[in-house]
Amino acid sequence: MSKVALVTGASAGIGESIAVLLAEAGWTVYAVARRVDRMAGLAARGVTAFAMDVTDDDSMVSGVRRVLDEQGRIDALVNNAGYGSYGPVETVPIEEARRQFEVNVFGLARLTQLVIPRMRRQQSGTVVNISSIGGKIYEPLGAWYHATKFAVEGWSDSLRLELAPFGIDVVLVEPGPIVSEWDGIAADGILAWSRGTVYEDTAHRMAAMFRRTYASSQVSGPEAVAEKVLVSLEAANPAARYPAGRGARTIITARRLLPDRVMDVVMRRVTGT
């Protein structure tokens, strides 16, 4: 009997790649996202796709119930849904900050709550949270996004200890720059929230840095993240963290070793600010 995985944010990019790779590896995969029309191609790859909004509790409850009704178990939850909202703390509306946390943190947490009881009864299961090197480093005009990823890191570490006695693993995958829609969304937001303010010049430099980075050889394809997810799910004793993509491990190591003042200088140079 194949194992069952639920993958969020699967309408494109990383989530789509994870869903396809797991299906190819013999998993029974349920892929969910708000934009269900964009998942039409997944059916041909052996993936069951349906709509789920991780900011809507009823949507999450009914989605998990569907998987359990049809399969009787969930062996892996891959929390991939998320986005990058950039802009000055001074000007980004608090409603947008809350939405960033609703999608990147609270949606992830609520969906995990919903699958824990079945995994606990199974005495097995893995929760994979797609974090980011953004949960280790920081950038100007990125406070809200980085806050969500730092939160996911700490939340996952605590949950790993909490669920270990029940045979449930909690894994963080920490991508570096990955080909996706992320950079366009982040760049558009940073310019919109900074327009006409004292932060506008910084925002233009940051947006240019995003576009330059994501057009360079520093960027990996989404399959780099999918491969780490599969490795973590097939490991008898998965690691707590899996850096993914070019440069991710180097950046995380540099942050661990460099003092804050040195890291500040490095980040200013990298971001052009």
Cite the active site residues.
11, 131, 145, 149
* 58 class by beta-carbon count within 10 Å (0-12 exposed, 13-18 middle, 19+ buried): exposed
Q: Edge to edge, what strands does the sheet with 168-175 contain?
A: 47-51, 28-33, 4-7, 76-79, 125-130, 168-175, 241-244
- Write the CB contacts of 121 (distance below 8 Å, at least 6 apart in sequence): none
E strand residue ranges, 140-204 = 168-175
- The residues that bridge with 4 in the sheet, in sequence order, are 28
Write the single-letter amino acid at 231. Answer: V
Question: Nearest-5° angle of CA 181, CA 220, CA 264?
Answer: 85
- The residues that bridge with 28 in the sheet, in sequence order, are 4
Q: Are 210 and 168 in contact (CB under 8 A)?
A: no
E strand residue ranges, 18-161 = 28-33, 47-51, 76-79, 125-130
Structure tokens at 140: 């100007």
Local structure of residue 47 (DSSP, 8 states) = E
DSSP string over 5-16? EEESSTTSHHHH
